[in-house]
């Protein structure tokens, strides 16, 4: 099942069922590259969104200090973030994770940085499971499978610095107008992994709202702490909501089948992708569910067939960018590497990179300007920073940056930077010889990785089956004296590929929720400890309730604070509020003595009647022993 490193041929009509299926389970290298870029951007965005609550969720000064974390955490959920409870340690790990996510973005030592990014993401997730949602599980799982795939074979530093490019920078490894397929056990596994999300969540939707008269969509839009303003507005179109419910089930069952259909290729694949993507467009528009839809788009990008890339490549070959030529100093190894990297990210693969010394007119310009030389299709030449700005303007994605680079202040800074680099080309060559060596991207998977990928695929298949009704016994089953089920469960948790796709399953929530937290000071004064709501019993929340939470992770945390069976997390939250209020230096009569945590639920009904309101105290906490109820 190995993919050769030679230039792939254009897809030919299938001559056998096996050839059809191999095409279905192959992934175009450009789809892999797109997935890598989206994965890296999501890792960076995820880190940025976690920063405001870093201290609250990941330090000993927060809602789950390590001593409490040990009581509720699964023993196989390992976490570097739990090595210290100090804020500085979390800042350090966040910074390290951001650096490796950026290296993954540009495709530098792709497989290594993918591995480290997976370790750090799994560690961060394991530090506080109370703030996780399904998107986090999909993100870490896709990061895991990325380690088995050549994510750096296109649009990366690794792809630019192939050893053959040093010998001949214009010898194409892959023809842009051809399919560039990669096939291995890992491609089979990751394609099924992407589709399991839809297929198993559809199987788990067993509740009555998912059956006739299909009320699930209406229930979902009535979850006030989930629904977006557009979702709230859309509730008025109740006659079409049953159709939306049916469409969700239809897309989740039929979409994966179309994606895997070996016939009518690639039309069936494209239709299947559009079906599945349409779900996430709707979810993203109608609900606040964090990064989940974007993570789903990232996973679906793997399934983009070669036909799409071939179509785009042909259009690219007709663009002005295809007529650009790059000239470099043959005595400057650093210069060649920069040309290769810039072509990889900004220009069509067919753009020529030539030695300036072979062209007298160009060499004269290079000597006079002490600069590389870029020419466009009209023969116009560009040098220094002007050439850099011109190249960025050739790619629609980077064109705004190219315009900014032409702005006079940035042009002045850019030219100064370029002159400094030109003056120190020898030093830059020494640095890049070590930091940016020529290194092959291997496209033939090894036998051990194939075997391990196969084992992991079996693990996720069994794990997903075990989430279905009555199938949980699989994870505790034994074969003779071997506890196979427990071994499988342990392996899945260590690798962080354990999963359950139960979004709005078996049925959507039928309640809207918000917390009320009030305390009593030593003086007897009442204070509001959760300022996004009011503590009074009769307080009426707004119809749009998402702003009652400080983001979707905070919402998830409070939801689990309410429903968690173990009082450890509620005790930890009470201790957090006491410590947060009773800072050193606060006068004794202003100290917080006792606090109560209430949750208000508003139950949805389909009778156009007011929602049933219920207020429940889930925890009472005393900050000092004298406040303990007697």
- For residue 383, give the H/E element and its range: strand 381-383
Asked if residues 179 and 310 have their Cβ atoms less than 8 Å apart, the reply is: yes
End-to-end CA gap in the chain: 71
Is pLDDT larger for residue 108 or for residue 485?
Answer: 108
User: Given this model, what pLDDT does residue 253 score?
Assistant: 97
Task: Tell how strand 373-375 and strand 381-383 pair up.
Answer: antiparallel
- Across 108-117, 311-320, 356-365, 409-418, least confident range: 311-320
Torsion of CA 544, 550, 555, 559, to 10 degrees: -100
Q: What is the Cα–Cα distance from 50 to 56, expressed in whole angstroms? A: 10
User: Given this model, what pLDDT does residue 432 score?
Assistant: 93
- Please state the rounded mean pLDDT for residues 241-259: 97
Average predicted confidence (pLDDT) for the chain? 93
Share of the chain above pLDDT 70, in %: 97
Asked if residues 172 and 350 have their Cβ atoms less than 8 Å apart, the reply is: yes
**Residue 258 CB coordination number (10 Å):** 19
Asked if residues 43 and 118 have their Cβ atoms less than 8 Å apart, the reply is: no
Asked if residues 286 and 234 have their Cβ atoms less than 8 Å apart, the reply is: yes
Report the DSSP beta bridge partners of residue 354.
327
Band the pLDDT of 88: cuts 50, 70, 90: very high
User: Between the CA of residue 97 and those of 39, 87, 121, 128, 169, what are the distances in Å?
Assistant: 13, 15, 8, 17, 33
Q: Is the preceding omega at residue 586 within 30 degrees of 0, hence cis? A: no
Band the pLDDT of 298: cuts 50, 70, 90: very high
Asked if residues 297 and 39 have their Cβ atoms less than 8 Å apart, the reply is: no
**Helices 29-50 and 87-106 sit at what angle, rounded to 10 degrees?**
160
Is the pLDDT at 142 greater than 60? The verdict is yes
Q: Provide the CATH topology of domain 320-435.
A: Glutaredoxin (3.40.30)
Nearest CA to 569 out of 513, 501, 618 is that of: 618
Band the pLDDT of 15: cuts 50, 70, 90: low
User: Given this model, what pLDDT does residue 12 score?
Assistant: 45
Band the pLDDT of 3: cuts 50, 70, 90: very low
Is the pLDDT at 407 greater than 80? The verdict is yes
Is the pLDDT at 101 greater than 70? The verdict is yes
- Please state the rounded mean pLDDT for residues 482-507: 92
Is the pLDDT at 486 greater than 50? The verdict is yes
Q: What is the Cα–Cα distance from 34 to 134, expressed in whole angstroms? A: 22
- Please state the rounded mean pLDDT for residues 384-388: 96
Asked if residues 475 and 485 have their Cβ atoms less than 8 Å apart, the reply is: yes
Is the pLDDT at 7 greater than 70? The verdict is no
- Please state the rounded mean pLDDT for residues 313-334: 92
- For residue 354, give the H/E element and its range: strand 352-355
Asked if residues 306 and 180 have their Cβ atoms less than 8 Å apart, the reply is: yes
pLDDT tens per residue across span 551-588: 999 999 999 999 998 899 999 999 999 999 999 999 99
Q: What is the Cα–Cα distance from 227 to 149, expressed in whole angstroms? A: 37
DSSP assignment letter at 15: S
| CB proximity list for 481: less than 8 A, separation 6 or greater | none
Is pLDDT larger for residue 175 or for residue 280?
Answer: 280
Q: Give me the residue spans of the domains in the chain.
A: 1-28+181-318, 30-169, 320-435, 447-495, 511-627
User: Given this model, what pLDDT does residue 600 score?
Assistant: 96
- Please state the rounded mean pLDDT for residues 11-35: 82
Share of the chain above pLDDT 90, in %: 87
- In DSSP notation, 512-568 reads EEEEEEEEEETTS-EEES-TTS---TT----S--GGGSSSHHHHHHHHHHHH-S-TH
What's the longest Cα–Cα distance across the chain? 96
User: Given this model, what pLDDT does residue 483 score?
Assistant: 83
């Amino acid at each position: 099942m190995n993919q050769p490193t030679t230039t792939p041929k254009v897809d030919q009509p299938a001559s056998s069922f096996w050839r059809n299926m191999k095409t279905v389970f192959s992934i175009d290298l450009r789809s892999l590259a797109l997935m890598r870029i989206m994965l890296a951007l999501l890792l960076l965005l995820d880190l940025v969104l976690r920063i405001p609550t870093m201290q609250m969720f990941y330090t000993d000064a927060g809602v789950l200090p390590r001593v409490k974390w040990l009581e509720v955490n699964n023993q196989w959920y390992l976490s570097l973030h739990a090595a210290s409870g100090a804020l500085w340690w979390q800042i350090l790990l966040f910074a390290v994770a951001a650096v490796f996510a950026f290296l993954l973005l540009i495709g530098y030592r792709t497989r290594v940085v993918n591995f480290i990014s997976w370790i750090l993401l799994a560690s961060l997730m394991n530090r506080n499971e109370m703030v996780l949602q399904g998107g986090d599980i999909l993100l870490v799982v896709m990061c895991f499978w990325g380690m088995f795939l050549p994510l750096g074979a296109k649009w990366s530093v690794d792809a630019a610095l192939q050893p053959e490019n040093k010998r001949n920078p214009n010898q194409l490894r892959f023809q842009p107008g051809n399919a560039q397929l990669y096939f291995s056990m890992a491609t089979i596994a990751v394609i099924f992994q992407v589709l399991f999300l839809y297929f198993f969540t559809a199987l788990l939707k067993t509740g009555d709202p998912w059956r006739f008269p299909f009320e699930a969509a209406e229930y979902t839009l009535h979850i006030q702490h989930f629904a977006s303003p557009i979702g709230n507005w859309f509730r008025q179109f109740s006659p079409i909501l049953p159709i939306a419910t049916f469409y969700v089930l239809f897309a989740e069952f039929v979409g994966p089948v179309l994606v895997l259909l070996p016939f009518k290729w690639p039309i069936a694949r494209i239709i299947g992708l559009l079906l599945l993507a349409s779900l996430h467009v709707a979810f993203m528009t109608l609900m606040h569910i964090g990064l989940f839809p974007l993570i789903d788009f990232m996973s679906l990008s793997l399934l983009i067939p070669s036909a799409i890339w071939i179509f785009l490549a042909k259009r690219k070959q007709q663009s002005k960018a295809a007529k650009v030529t790059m000239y470099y100093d043959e005595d400057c190894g650093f210069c060649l590497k920069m040309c290769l990297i810039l072509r990889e990210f900004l220009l069509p693969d067919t753009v020529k990179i030539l030695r300036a010394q072979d062209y007298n007119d160009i060499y004269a310009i290079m000597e006079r300007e002490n600069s590389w030389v870029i020419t466009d299709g009209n023969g116009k030449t560009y040098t220094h920073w002007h050439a850099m700005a011109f190249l960025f303007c050739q790619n629609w994605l980077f064109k705004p940056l190219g315009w900014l680079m032409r702005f006079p202040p940035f042009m002045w800074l850019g030219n100064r930077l370029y002159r400094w680099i030109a003056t120190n080309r020898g030093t830059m060559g020494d640095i890049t010889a070590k930091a940016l060596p020529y290194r092959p991207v291997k496209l033939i998977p090894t036998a051990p990785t194939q075997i391990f990928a196969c084992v992991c695929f079996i693990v996720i298949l069994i794990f997903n089956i075990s989430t279905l009704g009555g199938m949980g016994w699989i994870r505790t089953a034994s074969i003779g004296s071997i506890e196979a089920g427990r071994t499988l469960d342990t392996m899945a948790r260590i690798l962080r590929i354990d999963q359950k796709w139960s979004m709005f399953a078996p049925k959507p929530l039928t309640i809207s929720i918000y917390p009320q937290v009030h305390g009593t000071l030593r003086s007897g004064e009442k204070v509001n400890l959760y300022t996004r709501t009011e503590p009074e019993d009769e307080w009426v929340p707004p119809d749009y309730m998402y702003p009652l939470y400080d983001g979707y992770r905070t919402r998830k945390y409070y939801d689990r604070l309410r429903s968690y069976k173990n009082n450890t997390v509620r005790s930890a939250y009470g201790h957090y509020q006491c410590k947060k209020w009773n800072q050193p230096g606060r006068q004794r009569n202003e100290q917080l003595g006792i606090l109560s945590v209430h949750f208000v639920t508003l139950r949805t009904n389909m009778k156009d009647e007011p929602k049933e309101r219920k207020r429940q105290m889930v925890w009472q906490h005393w900050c000092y022993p004298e406040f303990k109820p007697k």
